Amino acid sequence: MKDKINIMFLGDIVGKAGREAVRRYITSINSNKPDFIIANVENASHGFGLTQKNYNELLSYGIDCFTSGNHIWDKREIFQYINDADRLIRPINYPKGTLGVGYRIIEKEDVKIGVINVLGRTFMGLIESPWTMLEEAIKEIKKETPIIIIDVHAEASAEKICIGKYYAKQGVSGVFGTHTHVQTADERIYENCCAYITDVGFCGDKNGVIGMDYEISVKRLISAIPERLDVAASGESQVNGVLISVDTISGKAETIKRINKEINIKEENSIMKG
């Protein structure tokens, strides 16, 4: 077993622009590919939810585990395949009996990695307490591995920071915020063990509004009349995420580095900056 592993966490993948950017980015780093890749996919299918076709497509890119959020239910076919999708996680704090699972332990190259997905409660609707559900999941995962990654899908930065600090004291390896699609510059190591960032950002069209079409987005704000959002498609995308190094014996994160790449998906041989 390796002494250390590199884990990459990619922010919310938004539509085709996000899927293609991620495919090209992973291909470009193939010679130096991380040991384990996690990605949030609740917006991967035209900005809303995840189809089974896109789930299989993203699996083929070499992503090892998929987290999600409140939009995971937007494509109704999710109810038909979520129980069979053994790399997909939905937020753990939905009511008992909800389809799917809130955490998984995935083994790769003799190393087990526990991944938990949780929803925040501030501005996020009626759901169960994340605190109680996380306590139980962490206790179960630690029976098998010290490496635990938490995707906190939440609106409020303060809530994410509190979760990060609190569970760092319990020795988790990483707490990464998702949902806002805006990458923050506060990456750090809490308690000498837990890699943290308030929001990892998103993967998708960089010229839209958090991945969605600008014209429609601004029209909705000016008119106050609801109009269905559409995914932006300028051909210029971005890939946001973090890369961390974790000690496999202790489960302690030792480094964290933000990923912020621009990828031109209009061309066959994409141009990557940053």
Read off the pLDDT band of 274 (50, 70, 90).
very low
User: pLDDT tens for residues 1-15?
Assistant: 889 999 999 999 999
What is residue 268's predicted lDDT score, i.e. its pLDDT? Answer: 56
Ranges 64-68, 121-125, 160-164, 184-188: which has the least confidence: 121-125
Q: Map tokens 């076919």 to a residue.
A: 77
Per-residue HEC secondary structure of the chain comes to: CCCEEEEEEECEECHHHHHHHHHHHHHHCHHHCCCEEEEECCCCCCCCCCCHHHHHHHHHCCCCEEECCHHHHCCCCHHHHCCCCCCECCCCCCCCCCCCCCEEEEEECCEEEEEEEEECCCCCCCCCCHHHHHHHHHHHHCCCCCCEEEEEECCCHHHHHHHHHHHHCCCCCEEEEECCCCCCCCCEEECCCEEEECCCCEEEECCCECCECHHHHHHHHHHCCCCCCCECCCCEEEEEEEEEEEECCCCCEEEEEEEEEEEECCCCCCCEEC
Domain boundary assignment for the chain: 4-273
pTM of this structure: 0.95
Active-site position among 46, 71, 153, 179: 71
Percent of the chain with pLDDT strictly greater than 70: 97
What pLDDT is stored for residue 271 in this prediction? 52
pLDDT of residue 148: 98
What pLDDT, on a 0 to 100 scale, did the predictor assign at position 6? 98
- Decide if pLDDT at 39 tops 70: yes
Query: What integer best gives the mean pLDDT of the chain?
Result: 95
CA distance 114 to 72: 20
- Say yes or no: domain 4-273 is CATH 3.30.450.40: no
Active site residue 71: yes
How does pLDDT run across 115-171, given as a tens digit for each residue? Answer: 999 999 999 888 999 999 999 999 999 999 999 999 999 999 999 999 999 999 999
